[in-house]
Amino acid sequence: MPTTPSDRTVFRTCPLCEATCGLEITIKDGAVARIRGDRDDVFSKGFICPKGSTLKQLHEDPDRLRKPLIKRNGTHVEVSWEEAWQEVERGLMGVINTHGRGAVGVYLGNPNAHNLAPLIYNRVWLQALGTKQRFSASSVDQIPKQVSSGYMFGTPATIAIPDLDRTQYILMLGANPYDSNGSLCTAPDFPGRLEAMRERGGKLVVVDPRKSKTAEHCDEWLAIRPGADALFLAAIANTIFEEGLSNVGDHMRPNVAGLDVLPAALKQFTASAVAQAVGIDAETIKRIAREFAAADKALVYGRIGTCTVSFGTTASWLVDVVNTVTGNLDREGGVMFTMPAAGGPTTRGQKGTGKGFSIGRGHSRVRKFPEALGEYPVSVMAEEIATPGEGQIKALITAGGNPVLSTPNTLALEESMKSLEFMVSVDIYLNETTRYADVILPSPSQLERSHFDLVFTGFSVRNVANYSEPVFERGADQPDEWEIFLKLAGIAQGMGANADVSMIDDFTLDAFIGSIMKDSSSPTNGLTAEQIREQLDATGARGADRMLDLMLRTGPYGDGFGANTSGISLAHMKQHPHGIDFGPLEPRIPEVLRTPSGKVELAPQPLLADLPRLAQSMTEFNDEQLVLVGRRHLRSNNSWMHNIEVLIKGKERCTLQMHPRDAQRVGVQDGSVARISSRVGAIDAIVELTPDIRERVVSLPHGWGHDMSGTRMSVAAKRAGVNSNVLTDENEMDPLSGNSVMNGIPVTVAPVGV
Ligand SMILES: Nc1nc2c(c(=O)[nH]1)N[C@H]1C(S)=C(S)[C@@H](COP(=O)(O)OP(=O)(O)OC[C@H]3O[C@@H](n4cnc5c(=O)[nH]c(N)nc54)[C@H](O)[C@@H]3O)O[C@H]1N2
Ligand SMILES: Nc1nc2c(c(=O)[nH]1)N[C@H]1C(S)=C(S)[C@@H](COP(=O)(O)OP(=O)(O)OC[C@H]3O[C@@H](n4cnc5c(=O)[nH]c(N)nc54)[C@H](O)[C@@H]3O)O[C@H]1N2
Ligand code: SF4
Ligand SMILES: [Mo]
């Protein structure tokens, strides 16, 4: 723990989104006086968005939990940590002893990906629990991209990242980085980087049913029909093949497999065959294909809008197919692979080949959906809780997640949650989800913990690393987040509420050292496990920091415990509060691959096998049907930054955007309240007319609906908005990954009170 003189300036990475901006935080009289962008940050160079400075308000938010809560007679009351842990032991072990370990369900939410301790320790308590009923926000987000990348490159962490700063042509689908600041492409000041590309003569094409803020700043906007990106990309690839424009490049030629079967597999997806279903005319599709193939350095980038649809995995695959067949995979200005400082699946083990990737190690109990990445789709969570029988979920643990607002068919999920025998949440608020918890365990504030972006240093547009020490000391009895997770692990192992977390931590570390020693590619300078342990302990670090030190030192830029004297360690990172820049991305194929063939698999069998379904979608669309898509706003963050007054004030944001002609057809007016209904539910929202949206498409943001009883978010409750996931349908999924369909939901819109 650093000591905390009352006046000082510290530097820290913002943990709120994937952009990982550097912050300069001025402390006066022991409190945050100001937060602004860190101009010396090696990556963000002073860029910040309106959310970054609100870490002050978040830290000071009186509604943020500082003590554990236990539900007594329907009301949450503050208790000591000791009491909370005893309750967790009683409740959790009660369920495990009666119904078995398979009766415990787990849901992990998005903030886990931005938080060092859970990234290291979640697997420890999950292993201790020994349940297969695992769910996460991945299956309402990026899992299709991970599945397609797993098939193509060998691991689900091997994701090809846009080389934004050197490209000359971006075909962007279903992403709006002007509001989201980017995803699966860590690039602080993403908008600035796009503008720089256009200034150097590059072209930005945005494919989005809505004229998003990014589309307002592009060279060409294509208003695609929701869900049709896979067809669009198939036709782009088809045109490239048909017109002889394919060229994978000399560097890639020996490293790709499946190129021979692709042209035939995609033969039926001609521009004219898909045009109607896609909603973009054939000539435009062909022109974009030609432009893309002719561009000096070009890349396709697809995100949420391409993933949370029923062809999510197919679209994600075709993104990389188009990149590869135009010679833009693994080359400057195309898509490339980041080299993460703390190492990971793309740096460890044998280089250039591996076990490859598959799904389906087990199936969900009720709907028999295949496992992917060690979890089941969150779309099946409610039925796993609600359906009686062996393996039914009776206890639920949520950590950093708000599935009630974030996952499909809220009403069904909530109904199921009422039947749980026990629920515990690790969270910082009493919100729509945690109100169901019997025990809520608060994480320390974002400013009371160390930070290192284990995930996003693997997906960034430059090779960078940045470590932040805690700004403030934790409150007297507030455990660190890793201690919370290891206590959970101890309890799940039957060690009880008094489980010794430092002992479990030592044990976990020793196991990790053991696995690194087994990996001959890890530099350990010939030391024994004991010597490594001694060196790590000598720094005084424990928990997440000590584990991070081990990862950094044995990572690709590490000091290897002396093997590389100019290499990095945690101590080294602490001397660089503005981060370290290891330079632009460099070609990594074939070394990065972990496929059994040692090649990029351009035509994975599961994707070829699903092409008939894609072909069917060319004819199965309904031009009359209104469909709902989502959107994000810069001043919001999924469901949970809505209790910050400075972010939430101003114009109402939770509105139903709609084309004036659609409004006329259904009889609603600008500013009036409309009822939106889907197969599973109905909500009322204020209509906002705009010509900047494709006809028959309406848009509503997610993460709202804060007017539920029993929560403690006083600011959010005043600007509640409505929950769009009352409308999303748990039966609509991407069959290849289990991802929920969150975009393109069939709805009707009608005036309220008529
Ligand atoms: N309709 C629709 N639904 C969507 C989407 C969409 O586009 N449309 N997007 C989806 C996407 S991409 C995502 S990622 C998911 C997000 O889904 P979730 O992760 O389930 O939801 P969040 O809103 O991120 O909720 C984060 C929770 O973590 C808590 N929290 C915040 N910081 C911390 C912390 O440091 N520690 C702990 N322990 N808890 C913390 C918050 O209080 C909140 O309860 O939503 C998905 N839902
Ligand atoms: N301010 C803010 N920033 C965030 C978040 C936030 O909630 N608020 N959430 C964070 C998270 S968890 C994530 S995953 C990222 C997501 O980051 P992005 O992927 O950039 O997500 P969005 O901003 O929702 O942009 C998705 C776009 O897809 C469009 N779209 C919808 N359906 C389709 C379709 O079928 N095809 C195509 N081509 N487009 C479609 C929508 O109109 C929308 O403009 O943002 C992160 N950053
Ligand atoms: S863009 Fe993201 S990382 Fe940067 S300040 Fe905003 S919320 Fe934080
Ligand atoms: Mo997300």
In the reported structure, the alpha carbon of residue 629 is separated from the centroid of ligand 2 by a whole-number distance in angstroms of 10
Answer yes or no: is the C-beta of 224 below 6 A from any ligand 2 atom.
yes
At residue 521, the pLDDT reads 76
In the reported structure, the alpha carbon of residue 215 is separated from the centroid of ligand 2 by a whole-number distance in angstroms of 13
- Which residue's C-alpha comes closest to atom 4 of ligand 3? 21
End-to-end Cα separation, the chain, in angstroms: 62
Answer yes or no: is the C-beta of 640 below 6 A from any ligand 1 atom.
yes
CA distances from residue 751 to 449, 593, 685, 694 in whole angstroms, order as listed: 49, 54, 10, 21
Answer yes or no: is the C-beta of 302 below 6 A from any ligand 2 atom.
no
In the reported structure, the alpha carbon of residue 18 is separated from the centroid of ligand 3 by a whole-number distance in angstroms of 7
**pLDDT at residue 717 above 50?**
yes
Tell me the percentage of the chain whose pLDDT exceeds 90.
98
At residue 754, the pLDDT reads 56
Answer yes or no: is the C-beta of 426 below 6 A from any ligand 1 atom.
yes
Around ligand 3, the residues with Cβ closer than 6 Å are: 14, 16-17, 19-21, 48-49, 51-52, 181, 188
311-355 confidence digits (pLDDT tens):
999 999 999 999 999 999 999 999 999 999 999 999 999 999 999
420-439 confidence digits (pLDDT tens):
999 999 999 999 999 999 99
* Position in ligand 2 atom list of the atom nearest CA 699: 42
398: β partners: 107, 425
Separation of alpha carbons 272 and 680, rounded Å = 35
In total, the chain counts a number of residues equal to 754
Q: Which residues contact 499 (CB under 8 A, 6 or more apart)?
A: 486, 487, 489, 490, 491, 493
Domain boundaries, the chain: 1-60, 160-336, 511-570, 623-751
Cα 371 → chain centroid: 18
In the reported structure, the alpha carbon of residue 181 is separated from the centroid of ligand 4 by a whole-number distance in angstroms of 12
605-650 confidence digits (pLDDT tens):
999 999 999 999 999 999 999 999 999 999 999 999 999 999 999 9
682-689 vs 655-658, strand pairing mode:
parallel
395-399 vs 104-108, strand pairing mode:
parallel
Answer yes or no: is the C-beta of 697 below 6 A from any ligand 2 atom.
no
- Give the CA diameter of the chain: 78
In the reported structure, the alpha carbon of residue 112 is separated from the centroid of ligand 4 by a whole-number distance in angstroms of 11
Our separate counts of H helices and E strands in the chain read 26, 28
Separation of alpha carbons 457 and 454, rounded Å = 6
Q: Is 474 helix (H, G, I), strand (E, B) or coil?
A: coil
653-695 confidence digits (pLDDT tens):
999 999 999 999 999 999 999 999 999 999 999 999 999 999 9
Burial class of residue 143, CB neighbours in 10 A (0-12, 13-18, 19+): buried
> Percentages helix, strand, coil for the chain, rounded to the nearest 5?
35, 20, 50
Q: Are 560 and 554 in contact (CB under 8 A)?
A: yes
CA distances from residue 168 to 196, 323, 331 in whole angstroms, order as listed: 10, 13, 13
At residue 753, the pLDDT reads 75
Separation of alpha carbons 604 and 606, rounded Å = 6
Separation of alpha carbons 514 and 577, rounded Å = 31
* Position in ligand 1 atom list of the atom nearest CA 399: 38
Strands in 422-426's sheet, in edge-to-edge order, are: 75-78, 69-72, 439-441, 422-426, 395-399, 104-108, 134-136
Separation of alpha carbons 407 and 507, rounded Å = 36
More confident residue, 476 or 731: 731
Q: Which residues contact 620 (CB under 8 A, 6 or more apart)?
A: none
Q: Is 734 helix (H, G, I), strand (E, B) or coil?
A: coil
Q: What long-range pairs does 525-529 form, CB within 8 A, spacing at least 24?
A: 525/560, 525/561, 525/562, 525/563, 527/561, 527/562
Q: Are 332 and 202 in contact (CB under 8 A)?
A: no
Cα 61 → chain centroid: 25
Q: Are 95 and 385 in contact (CB under 8 A)?
A: no
Read off the amino acid at residue 478: Q
pTM value?
Answer: 0.98
For the segment 277-300, the average pLDDT, to the nearest whole number, is 98
180-199 confidence digits (pLDDT tens):
999 999 999 999 999 999 99
At residue 611, the pLDDT reads 98
Read off the amino acid at residue 258: G
Q: Are 229 and 309 in contact (CB under 8 A)?
A: yes
Q: Do 1-60 and 623-751 come out as alike in CATH topology?
A: no
At residue 629, the pLDDT reads 98
Phi, psi of 726 (to 5 degrees): -65, -25
472-531 confidence digits (pLDDT tens):
999 989 999 999 999 999 999 999 999 999 999 999 999 999 999 998 777 888 999 999
If you search the block for the tokens 């039957």, which residue do you land on? 494
DSSP letters for 574-615:
HT-TT-EEEEE----TTTT---TTSSEESS-HHHHHTHHHHH
For the segment 206-235, the average pLDDT, to the nearest whole number, is 98
- Which residue's C-alpha comes closest to atom 18 of ligand 2? 175
Q: Is 300 helix (H, G, I), strand (E, B) or coil?
A: strand
Q: Is 37 helix (H, G, I), strand (E, B) or coil?
A: strand
Read off the amino acid at residue 36: R
> Encoding tokens for residue 34?
């100001």
In the reported structure, the alpha carbon of residue 401 is separated from the centroid of ligand 1 by a whole-number distance in angstroms of 5
At residue 4, the pLDDT reads 60
The helix (run of H) or strand (run of E) holding residue 259 is none
Answer yes or no: is the C-beta of 357 below 6 A from any ligand 1 atom.
no
Q: Are 174 and 208 in contact (CB under 8 A)?
A: yes
In the reported structure, the alpha carbon of residue 597 is separated from the centroid of ligand 2 by a whole-number distance in angstroms of 34
In the reported structure, the alpha carbon of residue 671 is separated from the centroid of ligand 3 by a whole-number distance in angstroms of 31
Read off the amino acid at residue 424: V
Half-sphere exposure of 605 (CA within 13 A, CB side): 4
Phi, psi of 678 (to 5 degrees): -130, -175
> Encoding tokens for residue 652?
């109402």
At residue 576, the pLDDT reads 98
Check whether the bond before 144 is cis (ω within 30° of 0): no
For the segment 23-32, the average pLDDT, to the nearest whole number, is 97
Class of domain 623-751: mainly beta
For the segment 385-394, the average pLDDT, to the nearest whole number, is 97
Considering every ligand atom, which ligand is closest to the CA of 303?
Answer: 2
Cα 671 → chain centroid: 33
Residue 582's CB is within 10 A of a number of other CB atoms, namely: 18
Answer yes or no: is the C-beta of 406 below 6 A from any ligand 1 atom.
yes
In the reported structure, the alpha carbon of residue 17 is separated from the centroid of ligand 3 by a whole-number distance in angstroms of 5
> Encoding tokens for residue 463?
């090779």
pLDDT band (50, 70, 90) for residue 62: very high
Give the residue from 312, 200, 337, 171 showing the smallest Cα distance to 255. 337
- Which residue's C-alpha comes closest to atom 43 of ligand 2? 631
Class of domain 160-336: alpha beta
At residue 1, the pLDDT reads 45
In the reported structure, the alpha carbon of residue 109 is separated from the centroid of ligand 4 by a whole-number distance in angstroms of 9
- Which residue's C-alpha comes closest to atom 6 of ligand 3? 49
In the reported structure, the alpha carbon of residue 730 is separated from the centroid of ligand 2 by a whole-number distance in angstroms of 20
* Position in ligand 1 atom list of the atom nearest CA 402: 20
Half-sphere exposure of 267 (CA within 13 A, CB side): 5
Using most ligand atoms within 8 A of CB, pick from 13, 17, 55, 176 the residue to mutate for ligand 3: 17
- Which residue's C-alpha comes closest to atom 2 of ligand 3? 17
Answer yes or no: is the C-beta of 401 below 6 A from any ligand 2 atom.
no
Q: Which residues contact 738 (CB under 8 A, 6 or more apart)?
A: 139, 143, 369, 370, 372, 376, 377, 379, 380
115-171 confidence digits (pLDDT tens):
999 999 999 999 999 999 999 999 999 999 999 999 999 999 999 999 999 999 999
Residue 740 is classified by DSSP as B
Beta strands, E only, 20-68: 22-28, 31-37
298-302 vs 256-257, strand pairing mode:
unpaired
CATH architecture classification, 1-60: 2-Layer Sandwich (3.30)
What rounded mean pLDDT belongs to the chain? 97
In the reported structure, the alpha carbon of residue 703 is separated from the centroid of ligand 1 by a whole-number distance in angstroms of 8
At residue 524, the pLDDT reads 87
Answer yes or no: is the C-beta of 141 below 6 A from any ligand 2 atom.
yes
Q: Which residues contact 612 (CB under 8 A, 6 or more apart)?
A: none
Considering every ligand atom, which ligand is closest to the CA of 184?
Answer: 2
Separation of alpha carbons 678 and 745, rounded Å = 7
| Exposure string for 714-736, b = 16+ CB within 10 A, e = fewer | ebbbebebbbbbbbbbbebbbbb
580-612 confidence digits (pLDDT tens):
999 999 999 999 999 999 999 999 999 999 999
